[in-house]
Chains A and B, each alone.
Chain A
């Protein structure tokens, strides 16, 4: 590869773009070129938006959502049902459920799934804070909206065991979530239907 013919600033941009999900080295080059050709209409606004987001972004200390305030706008919304807690793997899943308007409950973001093969254990996820949240009371139902993957299901099992001593009822999404499916990729109708047809774990 003749990388030396490109200035280091541009090379750095390409390398960073290549780290975005779904972009390989080839498409990162194409994206960088696209941005640089549209300096005023795209590159500079993007640089400003990125800087502003970097300054403002906060992780919600209650649920783990990403927002510009802490607690986040879902946690502070008085119209949400505090007795229902929806557990998701990551923020992308939370946003997918919000887009679909699938629940009036509040959320808890785990930050991933248990995966011995990737060295991710219970302490690497937000499971202890979840148990503490539920043990504090006021939550009637915990809905495990994890993905239908082996790791997702194992995590659901683990959390169900951990919550066994609490008063909350634990349910999970039932039909409509395809096997191996990831919530983020489901259409809104399927998500809403899955949320309605949840079953006791």
Chain B
């Protein structure tokens, strides 16, 4: 949990990026922007660099950002050796400086990963950023979320969980590492006692992951039920599915852990043959239905799917604000273009009501004509961004 913002009595503390600076970040040699508004729109033609700006902000949270790009790919083409993103974050009356960057390793040197700084001091892990802000995003790449592979939905869900429970990232990384270890041990026919030790640790993390996901899904479902009546964004019915999920029902965490350990032990021969671990939360899926119609999201229309996704992320924003005590920052790439004028107005109204800062992009300034005050629009072009004056 965060050490700031007492959720409950006074409501979540508003958190916003006030200054954003980039250097040698994709198409930007150097840029400094003041973002003095809750709702900010970046407009400009294709290739202008709008998504690049959102990607920069998305790197102020753990993970590889909204494009999941390799850090070397972000480096501005044309000789740059390091890129950096820094931001002045405003929360309540206080300000925090956040920074992150990456340097191309020297020949023969090793990749040092990305550096993260809070108020000028290096922090050992990007997870420290979660003490200061939460970031959620919707990108066009997520349009196929409900029809695509389960892995994409799992990753989406895990990001939702991370915003509620910052421990989830470490837990997931450790689980992955233990999983790879176990598969290696089985392949090499290692001693049973060694497998036991790895499986014991694996089971602990695996059950914690499953429980954290179940908790987030339950909290989110409750929010959706509360808020979606009469909303422009339809309610999503959420459930976790997979072979692992039934193991959780009606048992204490300790019992589930034991059951999972036993199942892993019994499944060694099968897993050895399959060359992977067949049972576990790494194979779960997030099942989404269009609740009102009781139709699976995957069978819903393109527009319905988009509206479901937006509704889901708005509910998540609400949940994150309540659980972390901070309003999340929303990155909404090309979101307005998909919505009819009524839904667009509903989206802006909902964002205002949530009190979040939302950074949005679009090719047409008219999409943001009715941005509620105080809104801010930027024209993005030629490696820069300039405010558009007047209404």
Contact = CB atoms under 8 A, between A and B. Distances in A.
Interface residues of A, number: 20
Nearest to A159: B197
Interface in A143-201: 150, 153-155, 157-158, 161-162, 179-180
Interface residues of B, number: 25
Contacts, number: 58
Contacts of A122: 191, 193-194
A117 B108 contact: no
A122 B190 CA distance: 10
Interface stretch (B75-83, B175-183, B306-314): B175-183
Contacts of A150: 174, 177-178, 201
A190 to B, nearest CB: 15
A184 B228 CA distance: 52
A118 to B, nearest CB: 10
A162 B198 CA distance: 14
Given A121-B190, A121-B194, A179-B170, A154 B201 contact: yes
Interface in A111-127: 114-117, 121-122
B109 A24 contact: yes
Contacts of A162: 193
A154 B198 contact: yes
A194 to B, nearest CB: 18
Interface in A92-146: 114-117, 121-122
Interface in B122-158: 124-125
B196 interface: yes
Listed from nearest, the 7 A-B pairs whose CB atoms lie closest are A158-B197, A116-B181, A157-B197, A116-B184, A150-B174, A154-B201, A154-B197
7 contacts: A115-B181, A117-B177, A150-B174, A154-B178, A158-B196, A161-B197, A180-B125
Given A114-B194, A179-B170, A180-B125, 17 more contacts: A24-B106, A25-B109, A114-B197, A115-B181, A116-B182, A116-B185, A116-B198, A117-B177, A121-B190, A121-B191, A150-B177, A153-B201, A154-B181, A154-B201, A157-B196, A157-B201, A158-B196
